Amino acid sequence: MSETSVAAPADLAELRAMLSAVAGPINFIGGGTDMLIAGRPMPAVGLLIDLSRIAGMAFICADDGGIRVGGATTVAAIAAHRGIATRLPALAEAAAQCGSVQIRNRATIGGNIANAAPAADLVPVLVAAKARLGCIGRDGASRELAICDYAPDRGFLIAEVILPRDGLLPRSAFVKLGPRLDLSISRLNIALLAEFQDGRFGDVRIAAGALGPRPLRLRIAEAALAGRKLEHATLRDFLAALAADVDAAIPGRNSQAYKRRAISGLGLDLIAQAVGLSPRDQLFEDVVQ
Amino acid sequence: MNQLSRRVPLVDGVAKVTGALRFTADLDVEGLLHGALVLSTHPHARVARVDPAAALAVEGVHEVFWHGNTPAHLYNSSIWFSGQKALADEQMFPQVVRHIGDRVAAVIADTEEIARRAARLIEVDYVDVPTIFDPEVALGHAGLPLRQDDTPTFLSPVAGETFVYGDPEAGFAAADLIVETRVTTPRSHHCAVETHACIARPEPDGRILVLSPCQSVFAVQAVVGQALSLPSEKIRVQKTPIGGSFGGKAEPILDPLCAFFALKLNRPVIIRYDRQETFTATRTRSSVTGRMRIGLKSDGRILARETETLVDIGAYCTGGNYLPSSMLQRLVRLYDVPAERYSGRAVYTNTVPAGAFRGYGSPQIHTIAEISLDIAARRMGMDPVALRQRNLVGPGAIEPWQGLDLGNARGRECLARGAEAFSWVGRRQRGVGRGRWRRGVGVASATHINGCYPGFHEETTASLRLLPDGRAELICALHDLGCGADTTLAQIAAETLGLRACDIVIVPADTDTCPYDLGTRASRMTYICGEAIRRAGVSLARSVRAAAGLELNTPADDLRLEAGTVRRRDDAGIALPDLAARLASRGIELPAATESYRAQANPGSYAAHFAEVEVDRLTGRVMVTDYLAAHDVGRAINPMLVEGQIHGGVQIGIGYALYEDVAIDLATGRMRGDSFSRYTLANAPEMPPLRVLLVEEGEPTGPFGAKAIGEIATIPVAAAVVNAVNDALGTELTELPLSPERVLAAID
Chain B CB contacts of A96 below 8 Å: none
Residues in B closer than 8 angstroms to A288, CB to CB, are 435-436, 617-618
Cβ A150 vs Cβ A113: under 8 Å = yes
What DSSP assignment string belongs to B526-590?
A: IIIIHHHHHHHHHHHHHHHHHHHHHHHTS-GGG-EEETTEEE-TTS-EEEHHHHHHHHHHTTPPP
Please give the pLDDT value at position B398: 98
What confidence score (pLDDT) does residue B143 get?
A: 54
Quote the Cα angle for B314-B319-B325, to 5°.
100
pTM of the model: 0.97
Cβ separation of A265 and B740 shorter than 8 Å? Answer: no
pLDDT by residue (tens digit) across B65-100? 999 999 999 999 999 999 999 999 999 999 999 999
Residue type, A31: G
Q: Do A265 and B677 touch (CB under 8 A)?
A: no
Q: Which chain B residues touch A181 with a CB distance below 8 Å?
A: 685-686
Q: Are residues B385 and B434 in the same domain?
A: yes
Residues B445 and B460 placed together within one structural domain of the fold: no
Per-residue pLDDT tens over the stretch B583-635: 999 999 999 999 999 999 999 999 999 999 999 999 999 999 999 999 999 99
Q: Which of A258, A266, A283, A286 to mutate to test the interface with B (most CBs of B within 10 A)?
A: A258
Same domain, B403 and B510: no
Which tens digits make up the pLDDT trace of B173-186? 999 999 999 999 99
Based on the domain organization, do B594 and B466 belong to the same domain? Answer: yes
B691, B694, B692: which is closest to B632 by C-alpha? B694
Q: What is the pLDDT of residue B589?
A: 96
Phi first, then psi: give them for residue B416, nearest 5 degrees. -70, -50
- The answer to the question of residue B349 being in a domain is no
Residues of A in Cβ contact (< 8 Å) with B113:
none
With a CB cutoff of 8 Å and minimum separation 6, the contacts of A205 are A128, A129, A130, A169, A192, A193, A194, A217, A222
Helix (H/G/I), strand (E/B), else coil: B641: helix
Does residue B569 share a domain with residue B489? yes
Q: Pick the residue from chain B with its C-alpha nearest to A41.
A: B117
Which of A138, A135, A137 is CA-nearest to residue A146?
A: A135
Chain B residues in contact with A261 by the CB 8 A cut-off are 618, 620, 744
Q: How much is the pLDDT for B145?
A: 46
**B615 in the same domain as B588:** no
The CATH class for the domain spanning A5-115+130-166 reads alpha beta
Q: Residue B695's CB: how many other CB atoms inside 10 A?
A: 23
Q: What is the pLDDT of residue A197?
A: 97
Q: Provide the pLDDT for residue B141.
A: 67
In a domain, B581, yes or no: yes
Chosen for mutation from B436, B438, B738 (greatest number of chain A CBs closer than 10 Å) is B436
CB distance B250 to B153 below 8 Å: no
Which positions in chain A touch B620 (Cβ < 8 Å)? 258, 261-262
Residues B417 and B429 in one domain: yes
CATH number of domain containing B707:
3.30.365.10
Min Cα–Cα distance to chain A from B693, Å: 28
Do the beta carbons of residue B174 and residue B351 sit within 8 Å?
no
B59 touches chain A (CB under 8 A): no
| Low pLDDT (below 50) residues in chain B | 145
Pick from A185, A257, A265: CB nearest B616: A265
Tell me how far apart the alpha carbons of residues B40 and B126 are, in angstroms, rounded to a whole number. 9
Q: Which residues of A222-260 are buried (b: 16+ CB within 10 A; e: fewer)?
A: bebbeebebeeebbebbbebbbbbbeebbeeeeebebbb
The pLDDT score that the predictor gives to residue B130 is 87
CA angle, A13 then A16 then A18, to 5°: 110
Cβ of A288 within 8 Å of Cβ of B436? The answer is yes
Q: Could you give the CA distance from residue B255 to residue B217 in angstroms, rounded to a whole number?
A: 11
Q: What is the pLDDT of residue A1?
A: 42
Return the DSSP state at A154.
G
Reply yes or no on whether the pLDDT at A270 is more than 60: yes
Is residue B345 assigned to a domain? Answer: no
Q: What is the pLDDT of residue A38?
A: 61
**Residue A39: which of B276, B434, B435 has the nearest Cβ?**
B276
Among B561, B583, B598, the domain-final residue is B598
Can you tell me the distance from the alpha carbon of B718 to that of B650, in angstroms, rounded to the nearest whole number?
9
Specify the number of domains making up chain B.
3
Q: Which chain A residues are within 8 Å of B621, Cβ to Cβ?
A: 177, 265
Q: What is the mean pLDDT of chain A?
A: 95
User: Hey, which residues 27-66 in chain A have their CB within 8 Å of chain B?
Assistant: 38-39
Nearest CA in chain B to A101: B685
Last residue of a domain, one of B253, B272, B291: B272
The CATH architecture to which A173-288 belongs is: 2-Layer Sandwich (3.30)
Contact A261 B617 (CB under 8 A): no
* Disruptive mutation site among A246, A261, A289 for chain B (greatest number of B CBs within 10 Å): A261
Residue of chain B nearest A177, judged by CA positions: B619
Q: Are residues A285 and B617, on separate chains, in Cβ contact within 8 Å?
A: no
Domain borders along chain A are: 5-115+130-166, 173-288
Q: Which residue of B has its CA nearest to A180?
A: B686
Do B429 and B469 fall into the same domain? no
Question: Mind telling me the catalytic residues of B?
Answer: 711
Strand order in the sheet with B96-97: B96-97, B45-51, B123-128
What per-residue confidence (pLDDT) applies to B241? Answer: 97
Q: Nearest 5°: phi and psi at B378?
A: -65, -40
Query: In angstroms, rounded to a whole number, what is the distance separating the alpha carbons of residues A210 and A98?
Result: 14
Q: Are residues B617 and B711 in the same domain?
A: yes
B476, B570: one domain: yes
Say yes or no: B120 and B266 in one domain.
yes
Amino acid occupying residue B368? I
CA proximity to A22, closest of A9, A35, A41, A10: A9
Q: How many helices (H) and strands (E) does chain A have?
A: 11, 12
Interatomic CA distance for residues B527 and B705, integer angstroms: 9
CATH number of the domain residue B98 falls in: 3.90.1170.50
The length of chain B is: 748
Residue B458 lies in a domain: yes
Put simply, whether B5 touches A (Cβ < 8 Å) is: no
Mean pLDDT of chain B: 96
Chain A interface includes B618 (CB < 8 A): yes
Across the interface, whether the CB atoms of A181 and B682 are under 8 A apart is answered: no
pLDDT tens-place string over residues A172-201: 999 999 999 999 999 999 999 999 999 999
Q: What is the pLDDT of residues B625-679, one digit of tens each?
A: 999 999 999 999 999 999 999 999 999 999 999 999 999 999 999 999 999 989 9
Which residues numbered 255-274 in A keep a CB inside 8 Å of some CB on B?
257-258, 261-262, 264-266, 268
The predicted model gives A100-112 an average pLDDT of 96
Last residue of a domain, one of B251, B272, B293: B272
- Residues B567 and B584 both lie in one domain: yes
In which domain, by residue range, is B53 found? 31-129+196-272
